[in-house]
Structure 1
Amino acid sequence: MLLSAFILGLLGSFHCVGMCGPIAFMLPVDRTNQLKKVSQIAIYHVGRLLAYSLIGLIFGLIGKGLFIFGFQQQLSIIIGVLMILVVIIPQKTFNKYNFSKPIYKLISKVKSALGTALKKKTMDTFLTIGFLNGFLPCGLVYMAVFAAIAGGNALNGSLYMSIFGLGTVPLMTTAIYFSHFLKGKARQRIQNIIPVFVVIIGALFIIRGLGLGIPYLSPAPVYNMVTNGIDCH
C-alpha cells in the first residue's frame, strides 16, 4: 500500500502542477545563485511534507480509533468504495453541494498567509510557503487522506502521506524550473490515467477489507487467526 502512495503522488503531481503550479512558479527563489535556489526549493518541499505528515498523523489517529472498535476491515471497504465513487461521480455534483463550504474561512486564511509569505525571501519563508501549500484543498490529497485513515494508526497514516508527498516532489520541482513543462496532449493523457489508478487503489482497499486470506494483499481477519490458533491447541 505504501507503494501506491508514491505512485499516487507521482501521477497526481500532474494535477498538482495545475492546481499548485502558480505557487511554485511564484516562489521567490534566488535566480542568480543555483546552490541557494536548490536549497530554497528543498526547504519548500520539506514544508509540504511536514504538512502532509501532520495531516496523515491526525487522520491516522482517527483510523486507530476505528481499529480499536473493530471497524478496521469495514473501514477499508468503505474507503475503497468512497475512492471509486469520487472518481465516477461527476465533478458538477460536488460543485452543486459544495462540500468545502464549511472550511472556506480556513482556506481563505491559508491563502492570505501564503500571499504574505510569497512577498518575503528569507529561508524560513520557503518552509512556511510549503507548509501552507500542503493544506490547500486538493482532490488527490483527499484520496491520500482516505488511505491514511485506513492505515489504522498515526504512524502509518503519517508515513502514507509523507510518501505521497515524496511522489509529488520530482514534477513539482520540474515545474519550478520549467513552468511550461508537459503542456497539451501529453499532460492530458497522464491526467486521464489518474482516475484509473485511484479506482485500482480503491479496489485494493476493498479486497484488503474482505479478509480473503491472501498474504499481504488481503490477510485474514485477526479474530479468525486467533480462533484458528485456539483450535490447534
Structure 2
Amino acid sequence: MNAAQLLPVFVVGLAGSIHCAGMCGGIVTAMSTTAKPRVPASTVIPITSARASVLPHILSYNAGRIGSYMMAGALAGGLAGGARNMAAVAGVQLSFYWLANAMLVALGLYLMNAWRGLAVLEQGGRVLWRRIAPAMKPLMPADTAPKSLALGALWGWLPCGMVYSALTTAMLSGSAADGAAMMLAFGLGTLPMLTGLGLLGARLQHAMQRRPVRIACGLLVLAFGVIGLARAAGGVTPEWMNMLCLTPHP
C-alpha cells in the first residue's frame, strides 16, 4: 500500500473530524484546564490561551486514540483478509467493496445531519463501551502525559459511526499491516481538529458545528462513496479515479 492510496483515507478523516468536535471536544478541551476544578468530560470549557505545557497532554491523548484505531484496523484487515483468502470467492470481495462505499455514503449524510442511520451502529457499540468506560475514572483529571495517553487509548474505542466507516474500508486492505496503515492515515486526518480543540476550545468547536461547514464536509465524504459505488457498478473506470477511491477494487 502506497501513500497515494492512503491520501483519500486521510482526507476523509480530515473532513469527518467535524464529528470529533462533538464526540471528543469536551474531553480534549477539559484536558487543557486541569488546573481548574474538575468538570464532567462532556463539558466544553473555553480556552483563552494556548499554553505550551498543554500540548504534550493533547498529543499524548491523540497518540493513544490513534494507536487504538490502528489496533482495530489491524484486527479488521487481518481477520477479513484471512476470511477472504479462505473463501477465495470474488463475490465476497465485491460485497465488502459495496459495503465499504455504502458506509462512506452513510457517513457523508450523517455529517450533514441528513440521515442518522449510523447512530444506530453507535448505539450497538455502547455494549462494549459500558465495559471500557469504568477504566477511565482513575485517569481523570488527565493531568500527566501518561494518563492522557491511556485515556486516549480507551477513548479510541468509543462507539463512533465515523470510525466504523473507516474500519469497513480497512477490512478491504487485505492484511493487518495495511489495515493498521489505513487507520493511521484516518487518525492523522482527525489530528488537526482535535489538537485545535485542545488549544482553542469552544471557539473552534462552535465554528465546526455550523451547518455550512457540516454540509461541505459531508458532501466531500459523500462524493468519495458515490465514486466508489459508481466504480463498483462499472460506471467509473478511468485509472485516475483510483486516487479518489478509498477502497481497492476487487
- What TM bracket, shorter-length normalisation? 0.7 to 0.9
Aligned residue runs from structure 1 range 68-217, under 5 A: 68=85, 69=88, 70=90, 71-85=92-106, 87=108, 91=115, 98-182=120-204, 183-184=206-207, 187-209=210-232, 214-215=238-239, 217=241
The one of 22, 38, 45 equivalent to 2:55 is: 38
Q: CA RMSD in A?
A: 3.3
The one of 13, 31, 38 equivalent to 1:9 is: 13
CA contact (8 A) 1:14 1:187 kept: no
Pairwise CA distance, 1:197: 2.3
CA contact (8 A) 1:76 1:208 kept: no
Pairwise CA distance, 1:52: 0.6
Query: 1:155 is matched by which residue type in structure 2?
Result: A
Quote the residue 1:50 is aligned against: 67
Pairwise CA distance, 1:128: 0.6
- Which is helix-richer, 1 or 2? 1
Structure 1: where are the runs of 5+ without partners? 223-233
CA contact (8 A) 1:174 1:181 kept: no
Deviates more, 1:153-162 or 1:112-121: 112-121
CA contact (8 A) 2:77 2:174 kept: yes
The one of 5, 27, 34 equivalent to 2:31 is: 27
TM-score, length of structure 2 as denominator length: 0.73
Deviates more, 1:13-22 or 1:117-126: 117-126
- Residue identity over aligned pairs, in percent, reads 25
CA contact (8 A) 1:29 1:40 kept: no
* Offset from partner CA, 1:148-168 (integer Å, 9 cap, x none): 112222122111111111011
**Aligned pair count?**
220
TM-score, length of structure 1 as denominator length: 0.78
Q: What SS does the corresponding residue of 1:135 show, helix, strand or coil?
A: coil
CA contact (8 A) 2:106 2:117 kept: no
Evaluate the alpha carbon distance shift between residue 189 and residue 208 of structure 1 in structure 2; reply closer, same or farther with a 3 A threshold.
same
Computing the radius of gyration over CA atoms, which structure comes out larger, 1 or 2?
Answer: 1
Q: What SS does the corresponding residue of 1:164 show, helix, strand or coil?
A: helix
